[in-house]
Amino acid sequence: MPVPWFLLSLALGRSPVVLSLERLVGPQDATHCSPGLSCRLWDSDILCLPGDIVPAPGPVLAPTHLQTELVLRCQKETDCDLCLRVAVHLAVHGHWEEPEDEEKFGGAADSGVEEPRNASLQAQVVLSFQAYPTARCVLLEVQVPAALVQFGQSVGSVVYDCFEAALGSEVRIWSYTQPRYEKELNHTQQLPALPWLNVSADGDNVHLVLNVSEEQHFGLSLYWNQVQGPPKPRWHKNLTGPQIITLNHTDLVPCLCIQVWPLEPDSVRTNICPFREDPRAHQNLWQAARLQLLTLQSWLLDAPCSLPAEAALCWRAPGGDPCQPLVPPLSWENVTVDKVLEFPLLKGHPNLCVQVNSSEKLQLQECLWAEGSSPWRVLTTRPAVRPVSAAMGR
């Protein structure tokens, strides 16, 4: 069945290069060969040990040329990774010994014994792939019928799908037989790169510098990367390069991620999450967190990102301070963000409070209070994080 083709625009310097990429569906590696040949791929990778060159026992198949092609391997319709397809061209090296005359071998050959030249040739071809920090070796078994054996000439090719590689990386590929009868082939390739993105700080501002070629159209999206559930979009815009985007430092949280891609059909997207270790981002995260008491029996912790936190119940009467542990005390329990949790009691009470602790430090506290028509009121409040859109002038 033919595979559909799509366009992938990759920005290289000032001139975008448009590549036509085939789409492969599914995670499985595969191999196929040219007509007349038969081939199969070993089920698992092998050790990358080429060994020394040994004398050929007769005619052997050997790799003579390597070709590579970029393709897309897709798990879903919009979930694709760049992949490197490798084609190995094979030829027959060496020859069968010819007897000088029939008498030297005791007359005519027995008709029941198959002559060597009527036997097929087999080879185990190794493909070794290296792209920091990944290294893989796969084994392809190839068989060529005697009818295609022409010494010193190509007998066909075997194709492997495929080695996954990152945009902008340098990859090296070797090919040799096992045992190794010839010097291995090698091929080095620099994969194309998407527009790169740099993050820099200037006082209270953070700059996203996108080195995109002039007049190159691209999409930019900011989102919260969620451990549970899909990412939460924050801001999206189609732009023309180059661009410098300015954020206020209060917009930063550890799970704030940036996605950039050229505005072409089926283009590969670059994702980075540069604020995971930023102390200001972690401080902002607790400022953005909200402890919500939903009913007299349930509550949840609302936050942009997952939090390393624990929660427990305590007792605080109106005007009382501090919140007193219950008797018997309830243990601190791990908190899951955005998940409704139930009080471990049959009934709620207006004097119950929920405390959220992180690294043995109290971060949030909310209490139930019987006041007027509302069964509770919030005792502590937090200033809201400034929206990204406001910081970007929207």
What ranges do the domains of the chain cover? Answer: 5-97+112-190, 196-279, 289-367
Return per-residue pLDDT of the chain as tens, 394 residues.
Answer: 222 222 223 222 222 333 347 888 888 899 999 998 999 999 999 998 888 999 988 888 899 999 999 888 887 665 677 889 999 999 988 776 655 544 443 444 443 334 455 668 899 999 999 988 889 999 999 999 887 777 778 899 999 999 988 776 789 999 999 999 999 999 999 876 655 566 777 777 888 777 666 777 888 889 998 776 778 888 888 888 778 888 888 888 999 998 888 787 666 677 888 888 888 888 899 888 988 888 767 888 888 888 888 888 888 888 777 888 888 777 888 888 888 888 776 566 778 888 898 888 889 988 877 433 333 333 333 333 333 433 344 3
CATH of domain 5-97+112-190: 2.60.40
Which of 84, 74, 61 is CA-nearest to residue 171? 84
Q: Answer yes or no: CATH 2.60.40 is held by domain 196-279.
A: yes
Do 196-279 and 5-97+112-190 fall under one CATH topology?
A: yes
How many CB atoms lie under 10 A from the CB of residue 301?
A: 23
Which of 222, 250, 247 is CA-nearest to residue 235? 222
Q: What is the pLDDT of residues 328-381, one digit of tens each?
A: 777 888 888 888 888 776 566 778 888 898 888 889 988 877 433 333 333 333
Residue 96's pLDDT is what? Answer: 63
Question: What gap in Å lies between CA 37 and CA 146, rounded to an integer?
Answer: 10
| Bridge partners, 96 (sequence order) | none
Residue 292's pLDDT is what? Answer: 87
Q: How many Å from the N-terminal Cα to the C-terminal Cα in the chain?
A: 48
Which of 194, 137, 131, 127 is CA-nearest to residue 164? 131
Entry pTM: 0.48
Are the C-beta atoms of 122 and 178 separated by less than 8 Å?
Answer: no
Residue 345's pLDDT is what? Answer: 66
Question: What gap in Å lies between CA 158 and CA 357, rounded to an integer?
Answer: 60
Q: What is the pLDDT of residues 278-311, one digit of tens each?
A: 888 888 998 889 888 887 678 888 888 888 888 8
